[in-house]
Amino acid sequence: MLDQRLSIAPMMDWTDRHCRAFHRMLAPHALLYTEMVTEQAIRFGKRDHLLAYSPAEHPVVLQLGGSDPAHLAEAARIGRAYGYDAVNLNCGCPSDRVQAGRFGACLMAEPELVAGCVAAMRAAVDCPVTVKTRIGLDHEEGFDYLARFVEPVAKAGCETFVIHARKAWLKGFSPRDNREIPPLDYDVPRRLKAEFPRLTVVVNGGIETVGSVVAHLQNVDGVMIGRAAYQTPWFLAELESSLFGGSLPDRIELAMRYRRYIGEQLAAGVRLHAITRHLFGLFAGQRGGRAWRRHLSEAGVAAGAAIDVYDRALDFVRTADLVHAA
C-alpha cells in the first residue's frame, strides 16, 4: 500500500525526472508522479528516455494516457518492469491534443471503457492501478455524475481515485483556463469518500497552504499538490515537516545536496538549464532569491553552462545572508 497523504501532481513539461529528484529532497515521504506518457510513446518510443528515473525517487507513479485496454496493459507492463510503484490512468486532462487521441478528461463520458482499461492493466501488473479524474465534464458535474463514473471503474479493481475538484470543459477553454475558471468544489470528493469509504480518495486543485492540507485530510485520504509545488517548492518541505514530523531543512544545505545530483547529470550529458529550471523558486521570498533566479535563468541557458553557474547563483544567496547579518 502506498501512502497517499501527500502527493505531487503530474504536470506536463514540469515534473520530469530532474524535478522529481528535487521534490524528493524536499519531501521524502511524498508520492511522486511522472508527467503523462502515452501508451503509444512507451510501446514504440525511446523507453529509456521516457521512463528513466533515479532510484531515490521511490515511491513514484507512472501516469499513462490512452484508451485501448490492450495497449495500456502493455505499456503498464513495460512501466512496471522499469520499477514504477504504481500506474495511474489520466482521465482528467482536457487539452485538444489529448481529446484527439481519445484519452484524458473525455474518458469521463465512457466509464465502461475506463473500467475495461483498468481491468486490463490490473491483469498485467502486480502494483496498484489508479485513476486521476475530474468532478465533471462540460455541462455534467456533481456527485451523481462522478459516482456514475467511479462505480464501474472501482468494480474493475481501481481502489484509488485522485479527484481534481473542478469539472473539465472540452470546448472553448484552454488547458490553462480549465485550471482556473471552473469553480472548485471540494464537497464532491469529500462526499465520494463518505459514500465509498473503502476507496482511497485524494483531492487535487488549488491547495496552497499547510492549513488547507490538514483540513482536507480530515475528510479524504490524501492531498495532491499541483502548481504550488513547482512555483513555491519550499511549501513541500513545510508539508513534510507538518505531516510527517521533523524540522525544516536548511535551504542552502539542501541546494548543496542537489548540487551533487547536478554534477552527475552534467557528466551524463544533460544541459544545466534542463536541471536547474526546476529550482528557480527555491529561495522565493528570501534574501538573494531574485538574484538566484535571475542568474540561473540567464546564465544557465548558455551552451556549455557548467556547475560554476550554479555555484555563482548560490553565492548570491550566501552573500545576501552575510550582508544582512552584518
Residues 296 and 236 in one domain: no
Instruction: Determine contact, residues 272/266, Cβ cutoff 8 Å.
Output: yes
Whether 120 is covered by a domain: the verdict is yes
Q: Considering 244, 269, 304, which residue would you say is the last residue of a domain?
A: 244
What's the one-letter identity of residue 30? A
Residues 238 and 295 in one domain: no
Q: Rounded to an integer, what distance in angstroms lies between the CA atom of residue 55 and that of residue 291? A: 32
Q: Considering 206, 226, 244, which residue would you say is the last residue of a domain?
A: 244
Residues 160 and 296 in one domain: no
Give the three cell numbers for residue 209.
Answer: 497552504
Which structural domain range is residue 289 located in?
Answer: 251-325
Give the three cell numbers for residue 108.
Answer: 469521463
Residues 261 and 235 in one domain: no
Residues 171 and 304 in one domain: no
Active site residues: 93
Q: What are phi and psi of 60, to 5 degrees?
A: -140, 140
Whether 290 is covered by a domain: the verdict is yes
Whether 299 is covered by a domain: the verdict is yes
**Residue 96's pLDDT is what?**
67
Residues 279 and 232 in one domain: no
Residues of the chain above pLDDT 90, percent: 86
Q: How many domains does the chain have?
A: 2
Whether 1 is covered by a domain: the verdict is no
Residues 34 and 160 in one domain: yes
Q: Residue 299 maps to which CATH number? A: 1.20.120.1460
Residues 193 and 167 in one domain: yes
Instruction: Determine contact, residues 124/170, Cβ cutoff 8 Å.
Output: no
Q: Residue 11 maps to which CATH number? A: 3.20.20.70
**Residue 325's pLDDT is what?**
47
Return left, alpha or beta for 65; rule: phi > 0 is left, psi -120 to 50 is alpha, else beta.
Answer: beta
* Residue ranges, the chain, pLDDT below 50: 324-326
Whether 129 is covered by a domain: the verdict is yes
Q: Is 102 helix (H, G, I), strand (E, B) or coil?
A: coil
Beta-bridged to residue 163, according to DSSP, are 133, 203
Residues 266 and 220 in one domain: no
Whether 89 is covered by a domain: the verdict is yes
Residues 44 and 124 in one domain: yes
Q: Considering 217, 244, 271, which residue would you say is the last residue of a domain?
A: 244
**Residue 181's pLDDT is what?**
67
Q: Is 55 exposed, middle or buried (0-12, 13-18, 19+ CB in 10 A)?
A: exposed
**Residue 141's pLDDT is what?**
81
Residues 87 and 116 in one domain: yes
Q: Rounded to an integer, what distance in angstroms lies between the CA atom of residue 147 and that of residue 144? A: 5
Residues 288 and 200 in one domain: no
Give the three cell numbers for residue 14.
Answer: 514540469
